[in-house]
Amino acid sequence: MASIFDRMKKVRWDHYIDYILIAVFALVLTVLSMTGNLKNSSAIIVEKIAISMILAVSLSLVVGFLGELSLGHAGFMCVGAYIGGKLSIALVAAMGNTVFAVIISMLVGGLCAAACGFLVGLPALRLKGDYLAIVTLAFGEIVKVIFQQSATFGGNLGLGTPRYDKRSFFIIELITVIITLAAVQNLIRSKHGRAITAIRDNEIAAKATGINVTGYKLAAFMISSFFAGVAGVLFSFSNSTIQATKFGYNYSIEILVIIVLGGMGSLRGSLISAALITLLNEKLRTILTGDLAVMKDLVYAVVLIAVVIYNNAPALKSFRDKYNLRRVFDKIRNPKQDHAFVRDDDAAWDRVPTKIKMDELLSVDIVPGNEFTPDKPSKGGQ
């Protein structure tokens, strides 16, 4: 018994809290839905929130961690939605509207989007910053026009797709959110993730340190667009028609805004802001009708400008440092810690229950008699 408790104590809960919260949320909703207490409108809002979360997490990988600005994320979603939607029509006809149809469509739609991500990633190898941003924007618009005009995909009228059962689809979506989050989070916390962040921090140094910048950029673009494609497929299953105009530049910007407001490079922030903004959007849409609906956009715009200026203006830096929420929390939890230091993050690895012989892993032969002392470089060399 005690050992279980010990193990429980050793688990880094802050690594898993996001998954747990989403899972609990999903569970509660499932119970509500099974007992018939969940309104259809609420279920639909949850579906939308889940899609926003997947999009935010996947875009975060490229913008927050790789540091490349992408203005065409909705384009990848569009590819996933149309290809997955088209496939789902056939699948549903063949095997019924089941989870398997959803999963197969998700995989295929995601892979097609990833292939597009590869194509967009290619110019990324030569282009930088703003130029890359315009290429991603252009890609999004091209995809939109092609699907809008193509007769196979329904043309201007849009593509009619099978709608999954409203009462249970959000479960599939929330599970997908967890999978997406786990994949991106694990990637970020691995050596590959470090390489990606290194490219963001200093590309020249990254190259000189032996990082395959080309490969990692492509990989990040592909993984990000894979999940955007998955989100697109989910979108097609939660709507009875999909129209290309939905996936324009404005939608890409909306996702970008979500991750900027959530804090760049913070997946948890992206999740929270995806949930809040989507919820707010939906709620305001029902409250403010007619001409008042515009007020929503106005407030949105003002808040956006205010938040970005507050978070980024060099003049406000000292103010921010003083009243930073995270810092305040840290102070309460651990008042003595110097906050220039992050929490001891090797703790996670100290507790890995594998036995590794360090001598075999040490790659450098230390000359006998010259083992280093922990605190000072030895005087005078050998």
Partner 1 sequence: MKIIEIIISGLNIGVIYAMIALGYTMVYGIAKLLNFAHGDIIMVGGYAICVFCAMSGSRTFFFVSIVAAVIICTVLGIVVERVAYRPLRGATPIAVLITAIGISYLLQSLAQIIFGSAQRYVTVPDLGKIMIGSLGIKWSTIITLAASVIVMVSLSLFVKYSRIGRAMIAVSEDRGASQLMGINVNIIITITFAIGSALAALAGLFYLLQSPYITNTFGAMPGIKAFTAAVIGGIGSIPGAMIGSLVLGLIESICDTIVPIAPYKDAIEFSILIIILLVKPTGLLGKVRREKV
Partner 2 sequence: MSEYVLQTNNLGISFGGLKAVQNVNLAIKEHQIYGLIGPNGAGKTTIFNLLTGVYMPTYGDFSLCGESLVGLSQEKINHHGIARTFQNIRLFNNMTVVRNVMVGLAHQPEYKCDLLSSILHLPRHRKTEYAMRERAKEILKIFDLYDERNAIACNLPYGKQRKLEIARALATKPKLILLDEPAAGMNPNETAELMDTIRFIRDSFNVTVLLIEHDMKFVSGLCDELTVLNFGTVLAQGKTDEVLKNPEVIKAYIGG
Write 28-32 long-range contacts (CB < 8 A, 24+). Answer: 29/170, 29/171, 29/174, 30/168, 30/171
Q: Which of residues 147-166 bind partner 1 (CB under 8 A)?
A: 148-149
378 alpha-carbon distance from chain centroid: 46
Q: How far apart are the two ends of the chain, measured CA to CA in Å?
A: 53
- Is 104 or 198 the residue whose CB approaches partner 2 more closely? 198
Q: Which of residues 187-216 bind partner 1 (CB under 8 A)?
A: 204
HSE-CB of 82 using CA atoms within 13 angstroms: 28
195 binds, among partner 1, partner 2, none (CB under 5 to 8 A by kind): partner 2
341 binds, among partner 2, partner 1, none (CB under 5 to 8 A by kind): partner 2
Give per-residue burial for 338-358: e unless 16+ CB within 10 Å, then b. Answer: eeeeeeeeeeeeeeeeeeeee
212 binds, among partner 2, partner 1, none (CB under 5 to 8 A by kind): partner 2
- Is 83 or 108 the residue whose CB approaches partner 1 more closely? 83
377 binds, among partner 2, partner 1, none (CB under 5 to 8 A by kind): partner 2
Contact with partner 1 (CB under 8 A) among 65, 82, 139, 247 = 139
> Of 231, 272, 211, 318, which Cα lies nearest the Cα of 18?
272
Contact with partner 1 (CB under 8 A) among 11, 17, 28, 309 = 309
Determine the Cα angle at 359 with ends 354 and 360, to 5°. 75
Window contacting partner 1 (CB under 8 A); options: 18-26, 78-86, 295-303, 358-366: 295-303
Q: Is 127 in the site for partner 1 (CB under 8 A)?
A: yes
Window contacting partner 1 (CB under 8 A); options: 9-17, 89-97, 161-169, 311-319: 311-319
Q: Is 308 in the site for partner 1 (CB under 8 A)?
A: yes
194 binds, among partner 1, partner 2, none (CB under 5 to 8 A by kind): partner 2
CB atoms within 10 A of CB 1: 5
> Of 275, 59, 25, which Cα lies nearest the Cα of 184?
59
> Which conformational region is residue 106 in: left (phi greater than 0), alpha (psi within -120 to 50 degrees), or beta?
alpha
2 binds, among partner 1, partner 2, none (CB under 5 to 8 A by kind): none
By the criterion CB under 8 A, which residues form the site for partner 2? 183, 186-187, 190-195, 197-198, 200-202, 204-213, 219, 265, 340-346, 349, 352, 354, 356, 358, 361-367, 370, 372, 374-382
Is residue 210 helix, strand or coil? Answer: coil
Cα–Cα distance, 307 to 303 (Å, whole number): 6
- Is 197 or 281 the residue whose CB approaches partner 2 more closely? 197
Q: Is 291 in the site for partner 1 (CB under 8 A)?
A: yes
Identify the DSSP state of 160.
E
137 binds, among partner 1, partner 2, none (CB under 5 to 8 A by kind): partner 1
376 binds, among partner 2, partner 1, none (CB under 5 to 8 A by kind): partner 2
334 binds, among partner 1, partner 2, none (CB under 5 to 8 A by kind): none
CB atoms within 10 A of CB 126: 10
Task: Provide the residue type at 82 as one letter.
Answer: Y
Three-state secondary structure of 223-287: HHHHHHHHHHHHHHHHCCEECHHHHCHHHHHHHHHHHHHHCCCCHHHHHHHHHHHHHHHHHHHHH
Cα–Cα distance, 239 to 29 (Å, whole number): 20
Cα–Cα distance, 121 to 225 (Å, whole number): 10
Contact with partner 1 (CB under 8 A) among 315, 332, 340, 361 = 315
State the nearest-atom distance from the C-beta of 188 to partner 2, in Å. 10
Q: Which of residues 67-106 bind partner 1 (CB under 8 A)?
A: 69
Contact with partner 1 (CB under 8 A) among 137, 199, 228, 277 = 137
372 binds, among partner 2, partner 1, none (CB under 5 to 8 A by kind): partner 2
218 alpha-carbon distance from chain centroid: 17
Task: Please give the residue ranges that form the binding site for partner 1 (CB under 8 A).
Answer: 63, 69, 122-123, 126-131, 133-135, 137-139, 141-142, 145-146, 148-149, 204, 249, 253, 256-257, 260, 264, 291, 294-295, 297-298, 300-302, 304-305, 308-309, 311-316
